Structure 1
């Protein structure tokens, strides 16, 4: 079985958060969902578990930070094109997310934007030119400077 990642996020309104993640392309898995959690599938290997605060507290006694004013993690997903990055960020905005809470990054070979979900969890979405990634950013910068 390939290694998978399950990102667990505390949410204040499970229905709102579930609808938001569906709007940006995730699919709700009913086998891992109930009135305290929504198991959201991004890919076969990437899953997001949206957990009510009461459910979250079953796993840790640490304080739940307010993601709108502090950051514990910043999550990043790759996409196949710059256009796809723009599309997913636009869908996040339409669904009630905050668009570009972090500066847009455009390095030519790599393009990234971000959105915050309704609870303030920041997701970056990025595209990177595969050839440039393999050669390294310095090679891209040298090529750009030569033209």
Structure 2
């Protein structure tokens, strides 16, 4: 009896969509605005609040600060200017890459060789074009 090999699904969603899924709902709204150029570069919390007026200013301020703490935004804490200025520090693909490497490392740390064997089994299911794309990603 032959068991059919499970088809490997390709995620056709955009990198931005996948990156948003890795964030909380408010973080995703703010980063979508930043990634798509709806916020100036650099921006201040007030810029975000104007764009998302349904949110309390303090909620926006806290969420933007958390995005900076996570390294997704960078912050310039200039003493000359009252407001902190923020910039995008990670593009969607960079966020996905950083978090996926961390997740893979945690899986290996937790499950050891079993995790590596599972990764290898998943790689075996890929077609040559997918393998080549992954090889290029791994070389970054």
TM-score interval for Structure 1 and Structure 2 normalised by the shorter chain: under 0.3
TM-score, L = length of structure 2: 0.24
TM-score, L = length of structure 1: 0.23
**Rg bigger for which structure?**
2
Larger relative CO (CA 8 A, sep 6+): 1 or 2?
2
